[in-house]
Structure formats: structure tokens, C-alpha cells
Structure 1
């Protein structure tokens, strides 16, 4: 009995490995916001099923291959092992539909399984963050620069992959689930007429609530809108995923409010306002948040988008599910991934001693807003064997060295591209 069970599990593992290699050999197929919209407006459940049963294992396999390349001291932590098991389980479940006929019962079960997969991966960000903390504790709190660089590279790709997979799952389940969207203007999770100022106000009010709770005060909000398009209507609207934009704004507002209150402690009764400018150009739509929170020194500005850097205390393990991301410092780097997912970006421009401008860039045209997806190949593999470059400038300061390392970011994001 035990021998047959072992043989069965061994055969299962062999087949899983073969399928993982097979699907990792394909590049993901990026979609644009326009393609999401066009399909959603003429939604066909069978076509969506046929696309996802191929695309989901491709995206899962590509990132699973990279998980296997992580340094052993991170890969074998309890938390990262748990995340890896979630991906293996989800990959296996999607493979069950590889050759299934899209009958009514199969389509219904597929939606249910997609819900299970989404829920299973809901804590990936927090659990990976805990894995990094476990690794640092095992290493005595010190992590070599090459390992930190490869972890930064990996987490950007893992979380971007996760955003894209959740986008596909959400679109399918919202369009074809038990309670599909009907009667509203939304197409799945996309809003074809997203009022940017409304999302700004929602994010501000929720961040303000937290700020009032903690500091008993908060800065006010001022919004202005501009457009270079003749006869453009206000408020400015665009096709976008409101939940993605909300996440970015909420994180930026929290940071700005904290900075403004703490920088103006002697004038809490007359805090300078947060000024938001929403601007539409021919190529980009920009949402700029300007604060007078004292700014950020240049020596720290490059650190703000690193997962292993945070100005807040790390949460205890008991807080893992009750206070999502608190103290992990993941808010800004993940916000930037949400912006870059559809080829936008987030940029911070700071004047130390005065304040900071945080700019969210969104593509103005939906057919140019393509998914930015990680691709597993030889180019991506080499970043897990990265070495620290030798300085080639005289009198290099530590912050200049950091910026030199950070200069590899655009190249790495080219590796996330869709070629």
C-alpha cells in the first residue's frame, strides 16, 4: 500500500514538473485595457474559459520557475514554502481544465475554482514579507547586498505577476460568476468612465480617517483639474481599474498626511493642505499630490521603493492578518507596480525642508495601456546571481552607490516587458 502510494505521488510530481517546464516555455500574452473592455462588452464565457485555461498556467509557471531560483535561506523559510505550496496547488487545479469541454457544469466549476485560487493567494504579499523577515532573523539581521538586490528584483516580478493573475480572475468571475455585474457601467472591475476626482476624494477621506484617529488632526484637500485637449469635459474621466488607482492614492495620502502633521507639529491648528492636480495630456494622465511635509533627503529617496526598507516598526507575527502591510514598507513599491502594470508609473520629486510631489502617471489611451508582465528566461535568471558592481567614480558616497545600483531598475523592467 505504501509503495503504491509512493509511486503514485512520484508519478504526480514528475508530471507536474513536466507541465511546469512546458508552460514556462511560453511567454504570457499581455492584454490592453481596450482589449479587456472590448471583450467584456461582448462577453463570451466559453472564449474566456478557453483563453484562461492556457494563459493562467503560463503566468503561474513563469513565476514559479523564478520562485525556485530564490536563495536557499529565503526559499526554505516557513512562509516562503507556504507561498510556494499555494502556487503549486493553484497550478494543479488550473491544469484539470486543460482538455475539458466547456459544458455548463464545467464552466460553473471553473468559476468556483477561480474564486478558491484568488482567496488562497489573498495573503501572498504579507506572507512573503514575513518570509523575508524570517530570513533576516536567521541571518542575524544582516543580508548581503547581492541577495537583497535579487530579492528586490524577484518581489517586483512576483507581485506584478500576482496583480495580473488577479486581474484575469476578477474579470472572469465578475462577468460570469454567480452574481455578475449588471445594470451598472462597470465592465468587470474596469470603469469605462472613471471619475479620477471621485477616487481621489475616496482615498483621501479614508486616509484622513486614519490620520485623525492617530494624530487627532489632518490636512485638508484641494483639487484642481487641467486638460490640454480642446473642449475636454470636467471632471476628467478615463478607462481604468478604480481599485488600482485607489490603492496608489491611499498609500500616497497616508505618507503625505503623516509627513505634514509631524513636520508641522507646532502649527497643528493650521496645517498646509494637500494639493492634488489632475492633468490630461495627449499621452498621459497625471495625478500629482503636493504636500508641505518637510520633504525627503536624497540619501533616502531611492530607499523608499525597496521592500527591505521601512521607516515604520515591523509588525509582530500576531498582526500578520489583522494589520495588512503595517510596518512592512511595501505600500510604495506595490503602488508603483499597480501604476506600471498598465505602463504608467509613480515618481517622487522632493525638496528637502519643504515638501514632496508624488506623481501618478496613467496612459491616456486605453489601447496603449498594455499589461507589463514578467517573463522567465535566461535574462531574468541571471539576476538571481547578481553581484554588486564595482564603483567607477571617485569619492563615491554610499547613497551614490545606492543610486548606481538602482540605475539597473529600468533594464529590469524591460525584462518585465512584452517582447
Structure 2
């Protein structure tokens, strides 16, 4: 299957047209303010322009990927999904606004969201297909890492727009009366932490027949004594925390082996003037500093890939996308996810979230000359001795960093 198979007729011209425009990032405050007024016609008018722009910006980058990757069947499937969805959205470009049009648009968005539900897994399979059939050099890996960060961030943003519209106007409530679409104006951080912990603990108990306890501490430096609340998307925070809990639990259980007791996973929440920080600390043995750069790479995993024969058991690790995707969810609204590790002791994972809703703006990829140049520029020659090939010390530094090695006793990816 060639990736250009479905690109016929007017679609390439429309992609070229819409990719000339930059996406319009919104803040959480703008999402909330618009959701409270809830005008379906305004939402339709915005989305029928904004969604094609966001789709076109990332779809143009697909064609800049290494040729070997473009030939992979799973990548072709993903590309065809995007072309189909792009076609369906631009169908509404010039339609008269009526109740019938609005209803059809909402149904089209739900169909698109469902169609793209498995895109992460399908793209992951495309990368596996590439690794199994071709040697992947550093330049190709660098291109793929750059693209996947932008591709998945674009996907998060598109799903956010679709979810807001369909929850507000699609007649399907998400079960929370105070929510504005998928945003909770008063998200209880501790409640999300406990929910993510309990679900990760269930998996850990299934897999290891035991699990570490949870200790939660909080410090509100702005509203002393009050619970820490944030205007946020609870499902995004849950996703990040669930992945981190799985990783920490796996690290603790494997580091302590058959021990009768396991040290708890400690979570500290701090509210500052600019940031809300959530720090998760485990005593799972930590990670060597030489491995830290690998943790957020899509083409690297410390755990075996899910086996088709294990379809009925849910492992604590999978394709290796947990940490990279979690960091994207944090960065989507200008937060971040940082790992700090002490080898031989444990690892701290710190989630940074914007405390003020008007500062929590979407971070979106833009297709332009700079992004195009990235794919075509070879890796720069290193200008520090420890990064250059050839020396014995350098070869020793690089040993053990290939994809086939497992991180000893660290957070699983």
C-alpha cells in the first residue's frame, strides 16, 4: 500500500490551501468561556475551518517521513484515515448553517473520533514493521521522534476540539454536571491521583500478586489550608498519572522481588503562584543516567511488546509509548513532565501544570519551512569529544544504549 494511494482529485490542493494557515491555539479559559455560552453555530463556524487547518498541517508532514517508513502498511492505514476525515470535514466548508447541517456535523465529528480511536496503536505497529524490515540509523530515528511528537500532539488537540463540541452539543453528557465539555472547572487533583492509583494497583495486584501503598501529601502556598483545585481536563491528568503509577509500581515490585514489604509510592502536590506540581516518588532502584535520554523515545522500550497470546491479561507495560505520550499530554497546555533519578534508590517524576487557566494555552505543531527543513537536514556533527565516534571511551559510553537492552530496575517505559 503506497501512502499516496488515496490522495487524488481535489484533496492535494485542499491540503496545500489549508496548510498555509497556522492553527489557532486556545487556552483553557477560552474553552471554558465559550462552553458556558455554548453557541453551536459559533462552534461549527470555528471548527469547520480550524479542524482542516490542524489536519492539513500534520498531514503535510507525513509525506516528509523517510521513504522506508512511508511504505509500511500500518502507516498507509493511518494516512488513509486522515485523508478520509479531512474529506468529510471540508464537505461542510460552504454549507448553509441550518439545524440539519449542525446535526450532520456533530455526527461526522463523532464518526471521525471513533475512526481514529486506535491510531496510536496502528502507528506503533508501523514503527515495529519498520524496525523488523530495515536498519534504522540515527538520522531516521531522529526524524521519526520529531514527527511522532508533533503527530500525537496534533491528535490530542484535534480530539480536544471534537470532544468539546460533541459533549456540548451532541446530547451525550459525560456524567459530570459541573463539567464544561470535557473540562472540569474545579478539578480535584487528589481525587484524580487516587483514581489513577487504584486502577494501576488493580493491574499490579493481578500481575505481581501485591502492590505498593500510596502516600499523598499536599501544600497549597497560595490558598493556605484549602484543597488544591485546577481548571483542567481530568482525563488528561488521569492518563499521565496512570502511566506513572504503572511504571513506579513495576519498578518497585521488580526491584524488591519476593520481599514481604514494599516501600510506598509517595505523591506530593504543591500549588504555587504559576504552577501546580505533582511529584511522584518511588524507591524502585532508579535509572542509570546513561539511560535517561532513552526514556522518552518512541523507538525504545524497556518492556517486551504485548503478546497476541496474552490478549486476556493486561501487562504493566506495552509498546513503550507511555512516557512520551504522557509528556505530550502535560505539554499540550504548556505544562511538562520531568524525570529525576538516583540510581540504586529510586525515581521522581514531576508533572508541571499551569495554575492559571488563561496561561494554559494549547501547544500546537505548525507546518512551515522550519519543520520541513528539519526532515531534510542530516544530524549535525558533534562538537564535544564525548559525542564523537571512534574513541574507546565513547564506544563504552554508547554500549548498552541500543534498543535491545532493558533498563535495570528503573521506571518501565
Length-normalised TM-score, structure 2: 0.90
Structure 1 position 265, deviation (Å): 1.8
Question: How big is each residue's C-alpha offset from its partner over 1:359-395, in whole Å with a ceiling of 9 and x where there is no partner?
Answer: 0000000000000000000100112123222222234
Judge conservation of contact 1:218–1:261 (CA < 8 Å) in 2. Answer: yes
**Rounded Cα–Cα distance in structure 2 between residues aligned with 1:336 and 1:226:** 23
Q: 2:18 aligns with which of 8, 23, 35?
A: 23
Q: Does 1:52 align with 2:50?
A: no
Q: Does 1:386 align with 2:381?
A: no
Q: Does 1:262 align with 2:245?
A: no
**Rounded Cα–Cα distance in structure 1 between residues aligned with 2:26 and 2:314:** 33
Q: Does 1:238 align with 2:233?
A: no
Q: 2:360 aligns with which of 359, 369, 394?
A: 369
Determine the structure 2 residue equivalent to 1:207: 200
Structure 1 position 106, deviation (Å): 0.8
Judge conservation of contact 1:350–1:357 (CA < 8 Å) in 2. Answer: yes
Q: Does 1:329 align with 2:323?
A: no
Q: Does 1:247 align with 2:267?
A: no
Structure-to-structure mapping, 1:303-322, within 5 angstroms: 303-316=294-307
Judge conservation of contact 2:203–2:314 (CA < 8 Å) in 1. Answer: no
Q: Does 1:92 align with 2:87?
A: yes
**Rounded Cα–Cα distance in structure 2 between residues aligned with 1:322 and 1:20:** 42
CA-based RMSD of the aligned residues comes to 2.2
**Rounded Cα–Cα distance in structure 1 between residues aligned with 2:398 and 2:342:** 21
Determine the structure 1 residue equivalent to 2:265: 274
Question: How big is each residue's C-alpha offset from its partner over 1:9-45, in whole Å with a ceiling of 9 and x where there is no partner?
Answer: x9x9231111110000000000000000000011000
Determine the structure 2 residue equivalent to 1:173: 166
Judge conservation of contact 2:251–2:284 (CA < 8 Å) in 1. Answer: yes
SS of alignment partner, residue 270 of structure 1: coil
Structure 1: gaps (5+ residues): 1-9, 403-419
Structure 1 position 315, deviation (Å): 2.8
Judge conservation of contact 1:171–1:188 (CA < 8 Å) in 2. Answer: yes
**Rounded Cα–Cα distance in structure 1 between residues aligned with 2:49 and 2:325:** 27
Determine the structure 1 residue equivalent to 2:410: none
Structure 1 position 266, deviation (Å): 4.6
Structure 1 position 105, deviation (Å): 0.8
Q: 2:30 aligns with which of 23, 32, 35?
A: 35
Structure 1 position 230, deviation (Å): 4.2
| CA separation of 1:395 and 1:237: change in aligned 2, threshold 3 A | closer
**Rounded Cα–Cα distance in structure 1 between residues aligned with 2:386 and 2:257:** 38
Aligned residue pairs, count: 389
Determine the structure 1 residue equivalent to 2:216: 223
**Rounded Cα–Cα distance in structure 2 between residues aligned with 1:399 and 1:193:** 51
Could you say which structure has the higher helix fraction?
1
**Rounded Cα–Cα distance in structure 1 between residues aligned with 2:377 and 2:312:** 33
**Rounded Cα–Cα distance in structure 1 between residues aligned with 2:203 and 2:337:** 23
Judge conservation of contact 1:126–1:320 (CA < 8 Å) in 2. Answer: no
**Rounded Cα–Cα distance in structure 2 between residues aligned with 1:331 and 1:51:** 32
Q: 2:145 aligns with which of 152, 174, 179?
A: 152
Structure 1 position 328, deviation (Å): 1.0
**Rounded Cα–Cα distance in structure 1 between residues aligned with 2:314 and 2:50:** 33
Q: Which moved more, 1:326-335 or 1:202-211?
A: 326-335
Structure 1 position 270, deviation (Å): 1.6
Length-normalised TM-score, structure 1: 0.89
Structure 1 position 324, deviation (Å): 9.8
